[in-house]
Structure 1
Amino acid sequence: MLSKLAKTFANSERGSVAIETAFILPILATMTLGGLEVSSIVSRQAELQTSMAEAAAVVVARPPAEASDRATLEAIIEASAGLPADQVLMQLRYRCDTATTLEANASSCGTTAVVSEFIIITMTDTYTPAWTDFGIGGPVNFNITRRVQIS
């Protein structure tokens, strides 16, 4: 009796589609979720790069002469990128002659040195993909920096 039942199950193909689907469906769902999350990550990176390019173009077109001008420009960049104030930073730096490092103060340069001014714009953002809810991977950190010479 038991051997006859075993032969019946072995020869039956009625449940094979359900079993194959049960194996494949989680894999396909994971691949789909992963593809959607990766496209969101790439899209956010492109948005931030576009906002940074706009910011650099604005700085070149109208260099901020004072701290208030830099604050206004920073607010425009924050609105353009959709970032809070603590994730956009603008710094004024100086290069003395052909030095490889930038200085925080122009007074650090000698009196005869050619001083070049730079605005350094930094954007940071974090994207947390849905797969982190399942214990896979972690947040993706974006850190985009542009250095624009203004004089």
Structure 2
Amino acid sequence: MMRQLASFARLRCNEDGSMAIETAFVAPILLVLALGGFEVSSMVARQTELQTAAAEAATVVRATIPETVEQQNTVRDILVTSTGLTAEQVTITPIYRCGTAQDYVTVADSCGSDAEYKFIRVDLRDTYAPVWTKFGVTSGFDFNIRRTVQIG
């Protein structure tokens, strides 16, 4: 009986393999944290890139005042080139505000006798799918960036 107690005491004091067990518990948590940090930084970087592109578009619109469809398409092409988006993901739309109204309209004639103010609306749309969506954890999300620039 004493021998069994002595061998149990020796076994209890043996620390061989304890580091492997601790690593087995901690490594997956650290891996998930690192992956999450990388994905969040990628999301923030893409959001910043799209915001910068929208600011660039506002500057181009103020400088050129795109009146025709061809000029609007040129602004769209600049955004497509600088962001890597497709032409379907970038929209340049002329809109109007009648007098002191808060809402925008797409047809200038709907203002009637009120003063009409012309704007260009720039919409950028993109979808981001983090790596964990491949494992069925949540889904991707959409970036929707909108800038409205008064031109007249």
User: Normalising TM by the smaller chain, what interval?
Assistant: over 0.9
- Provide closer, same or farther for how the CA distance between residues 128 and 2 of structure 1 changes in structure 2, counting only shifts above 3 A: farther
Query: What aligned pairs does 1:32-71 form with structure 2 within 5 A after superposition?
Result: 32-71=34-73
* 2:29 paired residue number: 27
- Aligned partners of 1:115, 1:95: CA distance in 2, in Å? 6
Structure 2 alignment gaps of length 5 or more = none
* 1:129 paired residue number: 130
Counterpart residue identity of residue 114, structure 1: A
Counterpart of 1:122 in 2: which secondary structure?
Answer: strand
Question: How far does the alpha carbon of each residue in 1:101-147 deviate from its partner, in whole angstroms, 9 at most, with x for none?
Answer: 1111111111x321100111100101111122233222121000011
Counterpart residue identity of residue 72, structure 2: R
Question: How far does the alpha carbon of each residue in 1:74-105 deviate from its partner, in whole angstroms, 9 at most, with x for none?
Answer: 11111111101111111111111111111111
TM-score (norm 2): 0.92
Between 134-143 and 49-58, the greater mean CA deviation after superposition? 134-143
Query: What aligned pairs does 1:76-95 form with structure 2 within 5 A after superposition?
Result: 76-95=78-97
**Is 1:107–2:109 an aligned residue pair?**
yes
Counterpart of 1:90 in 2: which secondary structure?
Answer: strand
Counterpart of 2:117 in 1: which secondary structure?
Answer: strand
* 1:18 paired residue number: 20
* 2:139 paired residue number: 138
Compute the displacement of 1:58 (Å): 0.5
TM-score (norm 1): 0.92
* 1:117 paired residue number: 118
- Aligned partners of 1:50, 1:91: CA distance in 2, in Å? 19
Counterpart residue identity of residue 147, structure 1: T
Between 48-57 and 2-11, the greater mean CA deviation after superposition? 2-11
- Aligned partners of 1:10, 1:46: CA distance in 2, in Å? 55
Structure 1 alignment gaps of length 5 or more = none
- Aligned partners of 2:57, 2:13: CA distance in 1, in Å? 69
